Chains A and B, each alone.
Chain A
Amino acid sequence: MDGDWDEVARIPFPPPGVHALPTPVTTMTFDNSQELLWTGNDYGRVTSFLGTEMQRYTSFKAHSAADGPVRQILVNEKGVLALGAKDVHMALRRGLPLWHIRHDDIIDLRCMSFTSKGTAEIIVAGLQDTMLVIDLNKGEVVKQIATEHQYSIMKRGRYICAATKSGIVNLLDPVSFAVVKSWNAHSALINDMDAQHDFIVTCGYSLRQGQTYMLDPFLNVFDIKQMSSMPPIPFPAGAAYVRMHPRMLTTSIVVSQSGQIHVVDLMNPNTSNVRQANVMSYLSMFEIAPSGEAIALTDADCCIHLWGSPSKLHFVDLATPIEFATADDHAPQLEWGPETPLNSVGLPFYREILASAWPDLVSDVGAPPVRFDPEFLAGLKAADFGSYGRNTRGLRRNQAEDTRNTHRGGNTGLKAPKFLSEKAREFVISDSRVSDDETD
């Protein structure tokens, strides 16, 4: 973290409705190919923010509000994945849904991780005894795995590092998902975890005097090469959140709830770079961008703080351009009159079948009109706009009727065929006769 790092932007996290109270960010992640920060809210909504100005980009519902917060977000080259307690939703970065999974074995999901298949497959887990493997290209559950442990955090390092609710981190084989090693990281529970390169780092709680949960005043480190834990790194302010630096392989950034930020080299913990984030309440989350040139912090006042060097801040090294709406080519303003032909606005160049192409459907255009039962008509009340009453016709609303057959009558024997107009006329005459009879 360079000396000129500072808070470059602070935005209020959008509340869930126009007049609704703000709610905290439930999860966030930096995109790995575009200058976007992805966030989730308490009502299943995913919103992305663009660049240094944190301008709102897209926003969509990943699942219904009744199913609670967005638990975790992952991105791959195709799009963005949002995990809810009962749903897994994948969408394009532009917001369009790709697929959505609800499954009988999904009870209460909390976390997910990419597997051995790069970014084409994930495993999802939670407070349930089954983990599910999902093929991201097909949008299908491809495998179910029974688990003795229930997981709340997952990070993909060399292994899938999965934190339980009781302070243990299991190292799962990314192919077989078998537990390779169990590491007892904290005595009560794990608050935050990261895994990259050769290390797993954790922040957690201990139960003090048997009744209050206190953040441990140290960072716990596990060395994957040695398959053993390293001496904890002291952090007197109470280590709440931690991320490994994506570029500096042995560096981690540790943050306290009150906003103290330490940049620590795991190999040389005595030389740490300390900064203070300006928070009125307390911090609730922390993320680092893949470039290592930006970090985001969220606070209990529902704000997102973006930190970095004001001159160099970027999220990814070679960002793919953001896809915006195409600028309108300022079409000439036409004077629309009753005679202006619709083809004054031309059809763009096209190669494929037009959307207006109508399929080969048989359509009946000449049938006589529907005849209403006199009892039904008599039951209607007259009003200025027409007559109204209950639908007592024994037919559905807008039900299509075959008026050719119903009005054929009881005639037998052959008759000369009639034109449709003749039939329609006869029908109208017979109808008026019916109403005449009634008035008599």
Chain B
Amino acid sequence: GSELYRELENGRIARLLMKLGTVNERQEFDGDRAWSENGERYMLKLFRDYVFHQVDGNGNPVLDMGHMLRCLNRLDAGTEEKICLNSRDEQTSFVVSYKELKKQLANAFSELQKSCKSG
């Protein structure tokens, strides 16, 4: 029973990662305003950095699976919790909820699905 639950959980995380992987940094979106710095999809890029590119006070990478899973789980459920997302140049800061990020991911993914031949 717990083994099955464990595999279900792994599958869920894998599917979420696949969704994030399919939408982020696609060449087709180059020059698309929605993904630019004033676009609504920009948050998904910054979220990717927030989850996977965490650093410590000296700028060294932090590879904390607990952090990654907590973030991914909150995105999966779309909780009301808010996080502060900062751009790489520190110029842009947004306060955004997981619920809003989940909606952005769904929009971006469904846009891909619409232009996909089997979708």
Residues of A within 8 A of B (CB): 14, 16-18, 44-45, 56-64, 89, 94-97, 100, 323-326, 331, 333-334, 336, 340-350, 352, 354-359, 361-362
Contacts and interface: CB of A to CB of B under 8 A. Distances in A.
B81 A326 contact: yes
B93 A59 contact: yes
Interface in B75-107: 75-84, 89-96, 100, 102, 105-106
B68 to A, nearest CB: 9
B92 A60 contact: yes
A74 to B, nearest CB: 17
B78 A350 contact: yes
Contacts of B92: 59-61, 95
Contacts of B38: 44, 60-64, 89, 97, 100
Given A334-B66, A350-B78, A345 B73 contact: yes
A352 B9 contact: no
A59 B95 contact: no
B91 A347 contact: no
Interface string B1-18: 000011001101101101
B66 A333 contact: yes
Nearest to A325: B84
B6 A58 contact: no
Contacts of A341: 6, 9-10
Interface residues of B, number: 50
A354 to B, nearest CB: 5
Contacts of A362: 118
B69 interface: yes
Given A95-B92, A344-B66, A355-B105, 10 more contacts: A58-B94, A61-B37, A61-B38, A100-B39, A345-B69, A347-B77, A348-B79, A350-B78, A354-B16, A358-B19
A140 B92 CA distance: 26
A342 B13 contact: yes
B38 to A, nearest CB: 4
A283 B113 CA distance: 54
Contacts of A56: 93
Contacts of A61: 36-38, 92
Nearest to B84: A325
Interface string B59-74: 0000001100110011
29 contacts: A58-B93, A59-B91, A59-B92, A60-B92, A60-B93, A62-B38, A94-B96, A95-B92, A96-B43, A326-B81, A334-B65, A336-B66, A342-B10, A342-B13, A342-B69, A343-B10, A345-B66, A347-B12, A347-B73, A348-B73, A348-B77, A348-B79, A350-B77, A350-B78, A355-B75, A355-B78, A357-B15, A358-B18, A361-B116
Q: 3 tightest A-B contacts by CB?
A: A350-B77, A95-B94, A356-B16
Given A331-B66, A354-B76, A356-B76, A45 B96 contact: no
B15 to A, nearest CB: 4
Given A60-B38, A343-B6, A343-B9, A96 B100 contact: yes
A356 B118 CA distance: 19
B47 to A, nearest CB: 12
B22 to A, nearest CB: 11
Given A345-B69, A345-B73, A358-B15, A96 B83 contact: no
Contacts of B77: 347-350, 354-355
B10 to A, nearest CB: 5
A399 B36 CA distance: 25
A356 B93 contact: no
A358 B13 CA distance: 11
Contacts of B89: 17-18
B33 interface: yes
Contact of B9 (A17, A89, A342): A342
Residue among B79, B93, B118 having the largest count of chain A Cβ atoms under 10 Å:
B93
Contacts of A349: 77
Residue among B15, B38, B93, B102 having the largest count of chain A Cβ atoms under 10 Å:
B38
Nearest to A350: B77
A323 B91 contact: no
B57 interface: no
B81 to A, nearest CB: 4
Contact of B12 (A64, A100, A356): A356
A58 B116 CA distance: 36
Interface in B11-69: 12-13, 15-16, 18-19, 33, 36-40, 42-43, 65-66, 69
Contacts of B75: 355
A355 B79 contact: no
A92 to B, nearest CB: 9
Contact of A325 (B33, B83, B100): B83
Contacts of A342: 6, 9-10, 13, 69
A394 to B, nearest CB: 19
A359 B114 CA distance: 12
